[in-house]
Amino acid sequence: MQSRNPVSRTGRPRSAAADTAILAATRDALVELGWSRLTLGDVATRAGVAKTTLYRRWPGKNELVVDAVAALFDELEMPDRGSLAADIEGVVLQFAAILVRPETKSGLMAVVAESTHDDALRERIRASIVDRQKRLVLEGRARAQRRGELPPEPDPEEAARAVDLIFDMVAGAVVHRTLVSAEPVDREWAGAFTRVLVMGLGPGRSQ
């Protein structure tokens, strides 16, 4: 007689297709209804799933919207463009293009505002968006080190601090430019920003 799989007793496996449909429906609802009118019931209807299915995955609207926005940022890539500067410029333009989407603006601004008085939500934003996208900094630095454009950093703590700083500089500048100043991030701006980031502001910087 076949032995039972112990995993089968823990319940039905989570469906990736249902997750994708729910997150897409959340983004659609954000654009159409806005943050204040979005409800989990409406999202469940749009996604074609039972409300209980949604509640098993997300405890509330805040967490659902964070994950819906985080999925957009997972589209970011850093293809090898031949140099550190070109790599940074490429990801800056991608990042800005995601930020100006209506669903990103609605969701990101809303959960950031909510997180000012919700420590658990702030931690979810950090884990689901910030920490997850630091992979791009790690990838870009490693590639630049292999090219000889950046020196290796044998101290793990110093390397981690450098990753945090680079991420904060890039993300902070692009978010401020697109969502606060409401100015375009075009190739001219991305190129100028990249030159400052890579070369600094000293008198020896190339013009």
pLDDT tens, 89-137? 999 999 999 999 999 998 998 899 989 999 999 999 999 999 999 999 9
Q: Which residues of 109-142 are buried (b: 16+ CB within 10 A; e: fewer)?
A: ebbbebbeeeeebeebbeebbeeebeebbeebbe
Query: pTM (2 decimals)?
Result: 0.84
Give the chain's length: 207
Q: What is the pLDDT of residues 3-53, one digit of tens each?
A: 444 433 344 456 788 899 999 999 999 999 988 899 999 999 999 999 999
Contacts of 32 (CB under 8 A, 6+ apart): none
Query: What is the set of domains in the chain, with CATH numbers?
Result: 15-58 (1.10.10.60), 69-199 (1.10.357.10)
Give dist(CA 61, CA 133) in Å, integer: 22
**Residue 203 pLDDT > 60, yes or no?**
no
